[in-house]
Amino acid sequence: MEGQVRQVGNDSLPGTRKIDENHRFVFTLITISIDAILSTSLLTEKVFRCPNFANKCNVVYLSSGLTSFVLASFFFSLNFTTLMVYGWLLVPCKIAIVLVGMFGNGMIARNLFILCYGINGALKALILQSCTYVISRHFTNSAFAVLYSGYPGGSILIGVVQYLLEHAIEVESIEDMRFCLVLCHLVQAVTATAALVWITYLYANYHEKTPNHKNVDHELGTNRCEPVSLFSKAKKFLKALSTVHYFFPRFLLQVEATIIRYFFYPCLIPFLLEISDNAKLIITLAYNFCDFVGMIVYSGINEKIDPLARRLSQPRLLFVFLRDVYLHIIGLVCVGTASFVILASWIKIDFIAKSPTVLFFITVFICFAIGSLSSRAVNGCFPLVEYYSTQTKDDGSRIFGDEILKMDNIINDVVVFLDYSSCVLASSLSNMIEQIILNHRGIQITT
């Protein structure tokens, strides 16, 4: 999940570049640590002797994250100290997942696993918001890209570890599967511990050492450290929400990517399809890898908008939407293709729904395309801000005046809130469709 309109780092502050060069990759470790690893559900359904519950983990993980994000936006003041606190709280959560995998069995283990994912999701939102603060004070803008690179990186890392372990020890028994499950989550727990040790070192050496914090806040327009009433925060949030329609073309691209990532993959495709677990794991790895490559390949595209390209009679929103029509067509083709795969499973078109090779190549196409669309959705938002800041209304005032531009951080929060909400909705609908498909197959699920 992503969603940044504008990232504001301290590129010009003394010492920032040195800190950034030496320590920026700590944020990759952090996002690897907080990511929801769903590929291991192929093991938990065997180890706990219950049906695959990846979708339920995802719904709880995202819902708790959304709740935590809203609370943080209105009631909490997040900073370097909170990154330390919530970060270290994540470590016991990861250890708990390892212990449940080591000793758990049946529905109790399943429910404990889901509970741990819920706690993980809540901590994730708080940690990410705290990371935004730390980057804006101590790192350069490029550290945000490093932060978000950890999402697919974590799933790829654990997926590869799982694949290698399953083939190295030739998994045959429940004990072998439990051993693989524990080691996979132990890798993430160790990564989380290493990330927090690194953050603790940075906290000890750099906390409160950036000069003139109040001046920095004023220049950035974030004002996160200033005490603000709940009413004032709500008023600013609603005002920022009123600007979202200007970003609609790119936000719609992100929604299309969200449908693929949280409705279809990986909980419906491939987990729900009647193919081997090994094929499901390989297709899941292909999904994560191609999504990641698509984001990287298209991250450097120039999204600058030429105002002269708009005809005078053409509405501005239509102008910016028409620029992206071909991108939306690609997104709809991806959604349509994934929908056809699920339909093929329902009406038993076996050469598609039960063919790992066909499903693999469909996944490569869809997920590379969606990765590229997601990258362009995020990177295209700030050029929209620049474009609207040069455009005027009928009364001669700028569409995005200084008041709006100074609300960049609040607009970020609004975009992240909407992105989170769309993820929760997509995942919840995916869980409902999964229940319908399983009922159609005559499989009863205990909730």
Q: Tell me the per-residue pLDDT of 301-345, one tens digit each, with 9 for 90 and over.
A: 888 888 888 888 888 889 999 999 999 999 999 999 999 999 999
> Above 60 in pLDDT, residue 7?
no
Domain co-membership, 281 together with 230: no
| Averaged pLDDT, 261-266 | 95
Confidence of residue 271 (pLDDT cuts 50, 70, 90): very high
Asked if residue 171 belongs to a domain, the reply is: yes
Quickly count helices (H) and strands (E) in the chain. 19, 0
Q: Let me know whether 150 and 278 are in one domain.
A: no
Residue 432 forms part of a structural domain: no
Q: Does 184 share its domain with 253? A: no
Q: Would 418 be classed as within a structural domain? A: no
The residue range of the domain holding 325 is 244-399
Does residue 229 sit in the same domain as residue 260?
no
Residue 227's pLDDT band (cuts 50, 70, 90): low
Task: Check pLDDT > 90 for residue 355.
Answer: yes
Of 238, 266, 283, the residue that ends a domain is 238
198 and 271 fall within a common domain: no
Q: What angle do CA 234, 239, 245 make, to 5 degrees?
A: 130
Residue 440 lies in a domain: no
Examine the domain organization and report whether 133 and 153 are in the same domain: yes
234 and 267 share a domain? no
pLDDT band at 213 (very low <50, low <70, confident <90, very high): very low
Number of domains in the chain: 2
Question: Of the ranges 291-300, 366-375, 380-389, 390-399, which is most confident?
Answer: 366-375
Q: Are residues 143 and 255 in the same domain?
A: no
> pLDDT > 70: what percent of the chain?
89
Query: Residue 413: inside a domain, yes or no?
Result: no
Confidence of residue 363 (pLDDT cuts 50, 70, 90): very high
Shared-domain flag, residues 277 and 351: yes
Domain membership flag for residue 232? yes
**Residue finishing a domain among 361, 382, 399:** 399
pLDDT at 70 over 50: yes
Q: Are 66 and 193 found together in one domain?
A: yes
If pLDDT is split at 50, 70 and 90, which confidence band does 221 have?
very low
Specify the higher pLDDT residue, 391 or 395: 391
pLDDT beyond 50 at 57: yes
Among the three residues 204, 238, 272, which one is the final residue of a domain in this structure? 238
11/426: higher pLDDT: 426
The share of the chain scoring above pLDDT 90, in percent, equals: 55
Structural domain contains residue 445? no
Residues 266 and 309 reside in one and the same domain: yes
Look at residue 16 in the predicted model and tell me its pLDDT: 65
- Give the chain's mean pLDDT: 86
409 assigned to some structural domain: no
pLDDT digits (tens, 9 = 90+) for 127-168: 998 998 888 888 876 777 777 767 788 889 999 999 999 999
CATH number, residue 128: 1.20.1250
Where does the pLDDT of residue 24 fall: very low under 50, low under 70, confident under 90, or very high at 90 and above? Answer: confident
Whether residues 137 and 208 share a domain: the answer is yes
Q: How confident is the model at residue 211 (pLDDT cuts 50, 70, 90)?
A: very low
Q: Per-residue pLDDT tens for 407-428? A: 767 777 888 888 899 999 999 9
